[in-house]
Amino acid sequence: MNKNTVFVATLLLLIALSVNATEEQIPFKSSAQGFMTYRSFQTFNSTASTDPVWRKQVDLNVLELKGEYMVNPKGKVEFEIEIEHGGAGTALEYDAFDEFGEFESEVEKGGEIVLSEIYYERDLSDTFQIKVGKVPVRISLGNMQDKYLMYPSVFASSVETFMLPRDWREIGFIGRKKFGSFNWRFGVVNGLNSEFFRKYNWVGGGFQKKFEGANAADLAVHSSFQFGDITKGDGVGVAAYYGDTTGNRYKEGKITKEGHVLLYSLMGVWHFGSWGIRGQVVKGSLENSDEIANANANLGTLLNPGAFSPLGHTASLEMLEVSYKWNLSDEQDITPFVSYQHVNTMETVEGSVFQDDRYNRLFTSVGFMWRLDRVFFVKFETLNHSTALDGLPDTKEHQIAFGFDLMSKL
C-alpha cells in the first residue's frame, strides 16, 4: 500500500475530525460492493503468434469498502478501500545511487490492497462544493459509472484500459458547481509519468500507483460539463484533461522535451422507459510521442518495455451500448444488451515509430444482467475481438460475473 497516501489520508481525517467534531457522535455511513468472474477466452502465446488458444480463468476481481464520516452538515470525509485479487501488491522503488540509477521491485503478495480514494468534501454553498485529497479523474464512462448496477455489461468498458488509467484517481482538488440541471467540475491533480507509457495501454500505465510516492513536478487540469449527472444516473456531457508528464519521470535527462497529454471526451447515459443507451467518444494526443518511446526503450532492465516502447501520437475510443430492461418483480429484472467498442492507440504516429495495426481493436458483444434482488446480480457477456492487422484471426471470450452492489444505498 502507498505509505505516503495512507499518511496524508489519515492526517486529513484526524484534522477534519478534531477541528470540526462536536460532542455528539459523528454520523458514519458504510457500504460495499464486489464481484467475481469466470472467463473462457482465446489469446495468443506471443505477439508473433497467429494461432489463438483457449484459456479459462476464475478471479475474485475486487471488493470495495466505502465509508463516510459526516463531520458536520456541510462537511464530510469519504474514503474507499479496494481489495483486488486477494493480495497486497508489488512496490517499486527507484535507487538513484545504484549505477546509472536503477528500478527495484519488492514482491509482497499477488493482488493489491489500495486506499483508492480519500478526500474531504465541503459544501461552500447550496450549489458549490469542493473535494480535497485523492479524488477521481472523471474523463470516461469507466471512471464515471463506478457502481456495478449502473450498467448491464460485466465491466463498464472493455476497452478503456487499453488507452486510459483504470480506476483513475489522483491527489489534488476538484470543485463542483451546479446550474439547475447542469453540473460543472474543475480540478487540479497530480500528473502522469511517461516512463510507464506502453504500446498496449498508451498513457494508461502512467498513473503513478506503482511507487510509494508520486512525483509531482508536473500537475494536470481536468474539467467536465454535464446536463444531468452520469455519476448518479442519466446525463450527457463533455470532459477534458491536460498536463505535462516529462517532469514526473525518475530518469532525468533521458528526455528534455515536453510530453503533454491531452484528452477530451463526449459521454452520455440515458434511459427511455425500459430502453437504455450508453455511449462515449474519447480522443487523445501525446506530445513528442516518438521521443518518449525512444527514452523508454533505454530504461533499466526491470522497467524496459522492450518491443512495447513504441507509442502512438494520437488515440481514439468509441463505444455504444443499447439495453432493454424486463421487470420480473419489484426486486428482479433482466437487462439484455448489445455493445460496440473500438479503440485505436496508434491512430497516428510521429517520427520513425511504426504504426502497428494490432492495436486498432474492435470489440462487439451481447449479454445480459439478471438482478436477483436489490443488491445481488449475475452478468453474462460474450465478446468478439478483432484487429486491423492483416492475417490476425478474431478471438472470442465468454464472461460470467456474480456480485453485489450496496454503494447506491450510501
DSSP code for 380: E
Q: Is residue 174 part of a domain?
A: yes
For the whole model, what pTM was predicted?
Answer: 0.87
For residue 102, the model assigns a pLDDT of: 47
347 grid coordinates: 491512430
For residue 235, the model assigns a pLDDT of: 97
Q: Is residue 78 part of a domain?
A: no
Give the whole-angstrom CA distance, residue 238 versus residue 313.
Answer: 22
- Apex 263 CA angle, 262 and 265, nearest 5: 150
Q: Which amino acid is at 8?
A: V
For residue 181, the model assigns a pLDDT of: 95
Percentage of the chain lying above the pLDDT 70 cut: 85
Q: Is residue 132 part of a domain?
A: yes
Q: Is residue 214 part of a domain?
A: yes
Q: How many residues does the chain have?
A: 410
Q: Is residue 51 part of a domain?
A: yes
Q: Is residue 204 part of a domain?
A: yes
Please state the rounded mean pLDDT for residues 326-342.
Answer: 96
Domain carrying residue 239: 38-59+126-409
For residue 111, the model assigns a pLDDT of: 62
Give the whole-angstrom CA distance, residue 61 versus residue 34.
Answer: 8
Nearest to 315 by CA among 229, 410, 227, 199: 199
Position 377 pLDDT exceeds 90: yes
For residue 95, the model assigns a pLDDT of: 42
For residue 281, the model assigns a pLDDT of: 98
Long-range Cβ contacts of 371-376 (<8 Å, 24+ apart)? 371/149, 371/331, 371/332, 371/333, 371/334, 371/335, 372/331, 372/332, 373/331, 373/332, 374/331, 375/404, 375/405, 375/406, 376/402, 376/403, 376/404
285 in Cβ contact with 336 (< 8 Å): no
Task: Give the N- to C-terminal CA distance of the chain in Å, as an integer.
Answer: 25
Question: What residues form DSSP beta bridges with 365?
Answer: 339, 383
pLDDT band for position 26 (50/70/90)?
A: low
143 in Cβ contact with 167 (< 8 Å): yes
For residue 207, the model assigns a pLDDT of: 87
Give the whole-angstrom CA distance, residue 381 versus residue 383.
Answer: 6
120 in Cβ contact with 16 (< 8 Å): yes
What is the per-residue DSSP string for 336-377?
EEEEEEEEEEEEE--TT----GGGEEEEEEEEEEEE-SSSEE
Give the whole-angstrom CA distance, residue 121 versus residue 65.
Answer: 18
pLDDT band for position 18 (50/70/90)?
A: very low
Q: Is residue 67 part of a domain?
A: no
Nearest to 75 by CA among 119, 31, 136, 120: 120
What is the per-residue DSSP string for 120-188?
EEEESSSSEEEEEEEEE---SHHHH--SGGG-SSSSS-SSGGGTS-TT-EEEEEEEEEEETTEEEEEEE
CATH assignment of the domain containing 383: 2.40.160
Give the whole-angstrom CA distance, residue 405 versus residue 32.
Answer: 7
Q: Find cell 545511487 and name the residue.
A: 97
Give phi and psi for 125, each to the nearest 5: -160, -175
- Where helices occur in 167-253 by DSSP H, the ranges are none
For residue 99, the model assigns a pLDDT of: 41
Higher pLDDT pick, 146 / 300: 146
Q: Is residue 351 part of a domain?
A: yes
For residue 253, the model assigns a pLDDT of: 80
Q: Is 175 buried (19+), middle (13-18) or exposed (0-12) by CB count in 10 A?
A: middle
Higher pLDDT pick, 203 / 114: 203
Q: How many domains does the chain have?
A: 1
